[in-house]
Amino acid sequence: MIWVEEVESLPRQGLESIQLKRLQGLVERVYATVAPYREKMVAAGIKPEDIRSLDDLKLLPFTTKDDLRDNYPFGLFTVPLEEVIRVHASSGTTGKPTVVGYTENDIDLWASVMSRCLAMAGVTRGDMVHNAYGYGLFTGGLGAHYGIEALGATVIPVSGGNSKRQVTIMRDFGSTVLLSTPSYALNLADALADVGVSTDELKLRVGIHGAEPWSENMREEVERKLGIKAVDIYGLSEIIGPGVAMECLHSDRGMHILEDHFLPEVVDPETLEPLPYGEAGELVFTTLTKEAFPLIRYRTKDISKLYAEPCGCGRTLIRMEKVMGRTDDMLIIRGVNVFPSQVEHVLMGIEGVEPHYQIEVNREGTMDTMSVLVEVSEDIFSDEIRVLEGLSKQIQADVKDMLGVTCKVKLVEPRSIARSEGKAQRVVDNRKI
Amino acid sequence: MRVEQIAVFLENKSGRLAEITRILAEHQVNIRALSVADTADFGILRLIVDKVEEAKKALRAGGFTVGKTNVVAVEVSDNIGGLAHVLAAVNEIGLNVEYMYAFVNKSSENAVLIFRFDNMDKAIERLQQKGFVLLSGEQICSL
């Protein structure tokens, strides 16, 4: 089922002309109403009328998280506060939180994009949707909530926490769809066992998981433990919250971006030059239709790729790959951009290797060297040297294949890679530059 | 006739072997035979012990990666040519030795050779045909 077929299956040309019109309107509006945007455009020598094609997007200055901090809390809003009917804020792990605002139209837009995302996962009016994203300043809970209602499905606004009670509710209410972070889905799976509820007693069919990075291994685990199909959703509060991109049930490569509202680019995080489809770089979004808090070329720091190939579902919306990491984690080794997640992909591709790994970068003389430390689990352990050396060589060859960088592979004992709060530290950069 | 051997992954850093033997001693596990295979970066410790499951459990709890493999134990007289006879028998049918180690039994005149072959079934069949004495795990531990 396609929720808004006339938009989502538009020939590219039609979609692009909608995007251009909206982009031009947006640029005119922010130029006229938001001083920080106008100042940046003036400094770059750009006027709204210079945007004649979608290609001219690249003329516009980027917006970064720092811009949001500098204008904390409401400095980048384009409408008077009387027109803002809701605010959300990010947790702000470093410094001030990021505050976002919504007009009434923005809330409707959000509900609409979110409901389209739900439809991509096959959710319909008949579904009982268990919304375990946190309700509050975080955009996850309320963003999903309005989308579920807009679709006409039944929402259980259960929010996060108290997993045992959630399991009982899931069983008694007959929840068919689960919305949660992937780690919370696994938490619920464990709670099933604690409460003594088997998956046969549940009606769960599909899980929609996002708001944190998760691997294909984790997806398999969620699917196996809950007996569901698990799909990926992407969003960030700056852009709108959940509802920016969604994996449909047919997709073999990532999530459809709701491009009629969110215009995507992928740029090289170093040079900031736009990259062609299929190349990994930093995701950049321009919100085409948001009123209170639009963003132009917002650098997400998320690493992904865009794919223009048509999808089996019939949507013409381009797709973004599952987020592969953050630009903050990017390493440059002998001139090559390396993301820890790429190494993780390699390790996952080698049967049995659970990715407890660490990348160690050193400088020997003038040469950068990269070592990949891999914890030897019982799945990959062998009592034969030949087998373990073969594994090292395979990892080395696959890393070289994928990244073009030669690395040294060190097999290490389990739990020897330092973890903080249960999470492994993925990169140790010993270079003194 | 197979013997259970445990193998432990060893990172190349000081004190690991000492830690393993300490754990085994603490759990009253007796080591009957062992060998260490090593490369520049890591090593593999292979052990024949009297209490396989206890040893595995204790080492796992101590944070080690532990595997269990079947090996074959051949008892030969502690004379010149003892090992050569065994190797000749398996070599004739094209079998390979992945690794081996040996110990001499103090209470008799015999040596015990521990083998891992690339094809264990064939190797065992061949050795039995040729009349070699294969030992069970209990037999090794009661020597």
CATH of the domain at B14: 3.30.2130.10
User: Using 50, 70 and 90 to split pLDDT, how confident is the model at A338?
Assistant: confident
Last residue of a domain, one of A287, A311, A327: A327
B55 and B105 both lie in a single domain: no
Q: Which residue of A has its CA nearest to B46?
A: A383
Q: Which CA distances in Å does A277 have to A117, A327, B1?
A: 22, 18, 60
Residues in chain A within 8 Å Cβ distance of B12? none
A280 and A362 both lie in a single domain: no
Q: Which one is predicted more confidently, A149 or A379?
A: A149
Q: Are A211 and A241 in contact (CB under 8 A)?
A: no
Q: Are A321 and A305 in contact (CB under 8 A)?
A: yes
Nearest Cβ partner for B9 among A381, A389, A410: A381
B52 and B77 both lie in a single domain: no
Last residue of a domain, one of B53, B69, B85: B69
Quick one: average pLDDT of A313-338? 86
Alpha carbon distance A260, A6 (integer Å): 11
Nearest Cβ partner for A413 among B37, B65, B98: B65
A97 and A242 both lie in a single domain: yes
Alpha carbon distance A289, A223 (integer Å): 35
Among A6-10, A232-236, A365-369, A373-377, which range has the highest average pLDDT? A232-236
* DSSP code, position B136: P
Q: Are A111 and A151 in contact (CB under 8 A)?
A: no
User: Using 50, 70 and 90 to split pLDDT, how confident is the model at A324?
Assistant: confident
Q: What is the pLDDT of residue A352?
A: 63
B63 and B80 both lie in a single domain: no
Output the domain CATH number for residue A274: 3.40.50.12780
Residues in chain B within 8 Å Cβ distance of A388? 42, 44
- Looking at chain B, the whole-number percentage of residues with pLDDT higher than 70 is 99
User: Using 50, 70 and 90 to split pLDDT, how confident is the model at A140?
Assistant: very high
Q: Pick the range with the lowest mean pLDDT from A2-11, A118-127, A393-402.
A: A2-11
Nearest Cβ partner for A376 among B9, B98, B99: B9
A274 and A225 both lie in a single domain: yes
B76 and B135 both lie in a single domain: yes
Quick one: average pLDDT of A210-228? 87
In angstroms, the first-to-last Cα distance of chain A is 54
A354 pLDDT exceeds 70? no
B33 and B85 both lie in a single domain: no
Local structure of B61: helix, strand or coil: helix
B5 pLDDT exceeds 50? yes
B49 and B16 both lie in a single domain: yes
A338 and A319 both lie in a single domain: no
Q: Are A96 and A332 in contact (CB under 8 A)?
A: no
User: What domain range includes position B103?
Assistant: 70-142
* DSSP code, position B43: E
A266 and A412 both lie in a single domain: no
Alpha carbon distance A72, B136 (integer Å): 75
User: Using 50, 70 and 90 to split pLDDT, how confident is the model at A273?
Assistant: very high
Quick one: average pLDDT of A351-359? 75
Residues in chain A within 8 Å Cβ distance of B7? 381-383
How many domains is chain B partitioned into structurally? 2
A336 and A319 both lie in a single domain: no
User: Residue A366 burial by CB count (10 A; 0-12/13-18/19+): exposed, middle or buried?
Assistant: exposed
* E strand or H helix that includes residue B99: strand B97-104
The chain-wide mean pLDDT, for chain A, equals 90
Q: What is the pLDDT of residue B140?
A: 84
Share in percent of chain B as helix, strand, coil (round to 5): 35, 40, 30
A292 and A367 both lie in a single domain: no
How many domains is chain A partitioned into structurally? 2
Task: Count contacts between A and B (CB, < 8 Å).
Answer: 54
Q: Any idea which residue has 């990259």 for tokens? A: A275
Q: Which amino acid is at A104?
A: E
A186 and A98 both lie in a single domain: yes
Quick one: average pLDDT of A143-155? 97
Last residue of a domain, one of B69, B94, B119: B69
B61 and B88 both lie in a single domain: no
Nearest Cβ partner for B63 among A388, A411, A414: A414
B76 and B138 both lie in a single domain: yes
Q: Which residue of A has its CA nearest to B39?
A: A385
B103 and B135 both lie in a single domain: yes
pLDDT in tens, B57-91: 999 999 899 999 999 999 998 888 889 999 999 99
Per-residue HEC secondary structure of chain A comes to: CCCCHHHHCCCHHHHHHHHHHHHHHHHHHHHHHCHHHHHHHHHCCCCHHHCCCHHHHHHCCCECHHHHHHCCCCCCCCCCHHHEEEEEECCCCCCCCCEEEEEHHHHHHHHHHHHHHHHHCCCCCCCEEEECCCCCCCHHHHHHHHHHHHHCCEEECCCCCCHHHHHHHHHHHCCCEEEECHHHHHHHHHHHHHHCCCHHHCCCCEEEECCCCCCHHHHHHHHHHHCCEEEEEEEECCCCEEEEEECCCCCCCCEEECCCCEEEEEECCCCCCECCCCCCEEEEEEECCCCCCCCCCEEEEEEECEECCCCCCCCCCCEECCCCEEHHHCEEECCEEECHHHHHHHHHHCCCCCCCEEEEEEEECCEEEEEEEEECCCCCCCCCHHHHHHHHHHHHHHHHHHHCCCEEEEEECCCCCCEECCEECCEEECCCC
Output the domain CATH number for residue A408: 3.30.300.30
Q: Are A147 and A111 in contact (CB under 8 A)?
A: yes
User: Using 50, 70 and 90 to split pLDDT, how confident is the model at A160?
Assistant: confident
Q: Pick the range with the lowest mean pLDDT from A38-42, A89-93, A258-262, B22-26.
A: A89-93
Q: What is the pLDDT of residue A1?
A: 46
Q: Is A379 on the interface with B (CB under 8 A)?
A: no
- Find which of A383, A410, A419 to mutate to test the B interface (most B CBs within 10 Å of its CB): A383
- Looking at chain A, the whole-number percentage of residues with pLDDT higher than 90 is 67
User: Using 50, 70 and 90 to split pLDDT, how confident is the model at A94?
Assistant: low
B93 and B39 both lie in a single domain: no
A386 pLDDT exceeds 50? yes
Residues in chain A within 8 Å Cβ distance of B67? 378, 381-383
Q: What is the pLDDT of residue A26?
A: 96
Q: What is the pLDDT of residue A274?
A: 96
A242 and A379 both lie in a single domain: no
Last residue of a domain, one of B69, B101, B117: B69
Nearby residues of A116 by Cβ (< 8 Å), 6 or more positions away: A3, A4, A8, A243, A246, A258
Q: What is the pLDDT of residue A183?
A: 80
Nearest C-alpha of chain B: how many angstroms from A393? 13
Quick one: average pLDDT of A269-288? 94
Nearest C-alpha of chain A: how many angstroms from B45? 8
A226 and A344 both lie in a single domain: no
Residues in chain A within 8 Å Cβ distance of B64? 413-414
Beta bridge partners of A42: none
- Looking at chain A, the whole-number percentage of residues with pLDDT higher than 70 is 95
Last residue of a domain, one of A290, A306, A327: A327
B62 and B75 both lie in a single domain: no
User: What domain range includes position A345?
Assistant: 330-429
Quick one: average pLDDT of A165-188? 93
Nearby residues of B91 by Cβ (< 8 Å), 6 or more positions away: none
A342 and A302 both lie in a single domain: no
B85 and B97 both lie in a single domain: yes
Q: What is the pLDDT of residue B137?
A: 85
A375 and A248 both lie in a single domain: no
Q: What is the pLDDT of residue A423?
A: 54
Nearby residues of A351 by Cβ (< 8 Å), 6 or more positions away: none
Residues in chain A within 8 Å Cβ distance of B99? 383-385
Q: Pick the range with the lowest mean pLDDT from A50-64, A73-87, B95-109.
A: B95-109
